[in-house]
């Protein structure tokens, strides 16, 4: 395996911590879990568009999906850096955490903004895996990234809210008991700021089935179990509102930073996997009487991808350190996600090219990982929107939206 990245701890620190001191036990243990789920397992799931239930159960049993839940609620109470390590290692070992990573971080909104009663009711079950909260209903078909314009409405009716509208790309909705839903409770033309009047709810997906809630799978180029979700007078108990009505947009922002850091970590893991594969193949494949890796046209792209991955890794660590210190990490989390997804894509492209025609044969897993890795440049936030954030919110350039 290519040398692993060194670690830097502390938001403003450039201390380089050897990898064997950066949650080495967790890395080892995640590697061992992944050994039971080789490429063959993922290939079959991909071909049949099946949910990797066995892998998700193994991770659940390990307790890693509850890593970020405080111990008082049955989790491990670990910092986000530990979550990063878990997800990076899953991807570096050829597996894909996309089927369950949201179980790790969606609960953050509930943890930070939910009532004591809500936390006691849900968090222990989420920590044990008995309750799956891994569906996040934000994106809508007509408003796209312009989240504040979302059209799904929740209207108070006695001790319930009545929800109408549609979400799209709600991943894992069929493999989740609960969904974190973002819906408008006050029409956009009646609020001062466009971020006002949006609320966050816990929706019981099992109770909603055939009762105002319909989930339709979307066939996609990767096995990501994503769906359209339709709400037709779905009744959600008012006690399922998180925090105050109308403040939901703010509540999900810190959760989105956590998501960006964690997805960036998965991208780093993918990048490591591609580079390991490319190096091994470039050393072993002989054409014109010599290993192809002797040619600089083969070795330089691999070295460049590795260098880009190292740089992205530093940014991911910095964003995680800021998050763990409770500091504003919007800039760092966005940049980390963009750089890590681009570095991983560079590594994916390089690996494709290094493998020549064999990259296209399913049995090598390169084409599948290449497809899977591409998602990270688009979701959970696209590269353009990260650049718009940096340009407008960090650098003070004129707003494009
Ligand atoms: C497999 C998959 C799983 C997903 N899972 C979830 C999920 O679980 N929950 C959820 O809520 N969402 C999910 N998403 C949605 C995802 O977050 C969005 O697709 C993504 O944020 C992009 O939004 P959009 O598709 O509406 O693109 P649009 O907003 O329509 O944008 C289209 C293109 O235009 C660009 N663009 C738009 N506005 C600007 C601008 N002002 N300046 C420059 N460029 C701009 C964008 O960058 C993008 O490239 C998922 C998506 C996919 C594909």
Structure tokens, 251: 């509540």
At 339, is the secondary structure helix, strand, or coil?
helix
The pLDDT assigned to 5 comes to 44
The torsion defined by the Cα of 307, 309, 311 and 317, in degrees rounded to 10, comes to: -150
- Which residue from 381, 389, 393 is spatially nearest to 267, judged by alpha carbons? 381
Q: Which domains are delineated in the chain? A: 19-128 (1.10.540.10), 133-246 (2.40.110.10), 250-394 (1.20.140.10)
Across-strand partners of 234?
163
Structure tokens, 273: 């996997």
Residue to probe by mutation, ligand 1, list 198, 376, 385, 397, most atoms within 8 Å of CB? 385
CA distance 341 to 347: 10
The pLDDT assigned to 401 comes to 86
Q: List, for the chain, all residue ranges whose pLDDT scores fall below the cut of 50.
A: 1-11, 13-14
- Which residue from 108, 62, 70, 111 is spatially nearest to 87, judged by alpha carbons? 62
Q: Which residue has the tokens 């090598």?
A: 364
**Sign (positive or negative) of CA dihedral 278, 280, 285, 290:** positive
Structure tokens, 133: 């909260």
Q: How far is ligand 1, taken at its centre, from the CA of residue 378, in Å?
A: 6
What is the distance, to the nearest Å, from the Cα of residue 164 to the centroid of all Cα atoms in its chain? Answer: 27
Task: Judge whether 316 and 272 are in contact, CB under 8 Å.
Answer: no
Pairing state between β 241-242 and 198-204: antiparallel
Q: How far is ligand 1, taken at its centre, from the CA of residue 383, in Å?
A: 10
CA distance 317 to 44: 34
Q: How far is ligand 1, taken at its centre, from the CA of residue 6, in Å?
A: 32
CA distance 18 to 187: 52
The pLDDT assigned to 15 comes to 52
- Which residue from 317, 195, 318, 203 is spatially nearest to 252, judged by alpha carbons? 195
Q: Is the pTM of this model over 0.85?
A: yes
The pLDDT assigned to 114 comes to 98
Task: Judge whether 390 and 396 are in contact, CB under 8 Å.
Answer: no
Task: Judge whether 173 and 135 are in contact, CB under 8 Å.
Answer: yes
Task: Judge whether 63 and 76 are in contact, CB under 8 Å.
Answer: yes
What is the distance, to the nearest Å, from the Cα of residue 231 to the centroid of all Cα atoms in its chain? Answer: 25
Q: How far is ligand 1, taken at its centre, from the CA of residue 140, in Å?
A: 9
User: Phi and psi (nearest 5°) for 73?
Assistant: -105, 15
What is the distance, to the nearest Å, from the Cα of residue 273 to the centroid of all Cα atoms in its chain? Answer: 18
Task: Judge whether 380 and 259 are in contact, CB under 8 Å.
Answer: yes
CA distance 222 to 167: 19
The pLDDT assigned to 254 comes to 81
The pLDDT assigned to 364 comes to 98
Residues with CB under 6 A from ligand 1: 136-139, 144-145, 169-171, 220, 224, 226, 375, 378-382, 384-385, 388, 400-401
């Amino acid at each position: 395996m290519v040398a692993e990245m060194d670690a830097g701890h502390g938001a403003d620190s450039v201390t380089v911590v050897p990898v064997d001191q950066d949650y080495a036990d967790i890395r080892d243990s995640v590697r061992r879990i992944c050994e039971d789920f080789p490429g063959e397992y993922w290939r079959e799931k991909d071909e049949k568009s099946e949910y990797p239930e066995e892998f998700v159960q193994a991770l659940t049993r390990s307790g890693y999906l509850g890593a970020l839940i405080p111990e008082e609620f049955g989790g491990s109470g670990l910092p986000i850096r530990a979550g990063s390590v878990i997800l990076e290692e899953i991807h570096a070992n050829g597996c894909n955490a996309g089927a369950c990573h949201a179980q790790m971080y969606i609960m953050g909104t509930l943890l930070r903004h939910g009532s004591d009663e809500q936390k006691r009711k849900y968090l222990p079950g989420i920590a044990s895996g008995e309750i799956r909260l891994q569906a996040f209903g934000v994106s809508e078909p007509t408003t796209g990234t312009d989240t504040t314009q979302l059209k799904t409405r929740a209207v108070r009716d006695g001790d319930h809210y009545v929800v109408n509208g549609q979400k799209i790309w709600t991943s894992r909705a069929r493999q989740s008991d609960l969904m974190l839903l973002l819906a408008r409770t006050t029409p956009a033309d009646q609020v001062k700021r466009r971020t006002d009047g949006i609320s966050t709810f816990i929706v019981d997906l099992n109770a909603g089935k055939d009762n105002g809630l319909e989930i339709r799978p979307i066939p996609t180029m990767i096995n990501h179990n994503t769906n359209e979700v339709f709400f037709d007078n779905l009744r959600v108990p008012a006690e399922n509102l998180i925090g105050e009505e109308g403040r939901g947009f703010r509540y999900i922002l810190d959760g989105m930073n956590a998501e960006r850091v964690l997805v960036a970590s998965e991208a780093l893991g993918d990048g490591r996997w591609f580079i390991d594969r490319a190096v091994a193949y470039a050393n072993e494949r002989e054409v014109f009487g010599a290993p192809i890796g002797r040619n600089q046209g083969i070795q330089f792209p691999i070295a460049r991808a590795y260098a880009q991955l190292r740089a992205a890794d530093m940014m991911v660590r910095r964003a995680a350190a800021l998050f763990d210190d409770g500091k504003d990490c919007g800039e760092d989390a966005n940049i980390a996600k963009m750089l890590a997804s681009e570095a991983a894509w560079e590594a994916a492209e390089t690996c494709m090219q290094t493998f020549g025609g064999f990259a296209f044969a399913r049995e090598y897993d390169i084409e599948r990982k290449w497809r899977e890795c591409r998602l990270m440049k688009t979701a959970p936030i696209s590269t353009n929107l990260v650049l718009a954030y940096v340009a407008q919110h960090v650098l003070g350039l004129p707003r494009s939206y």
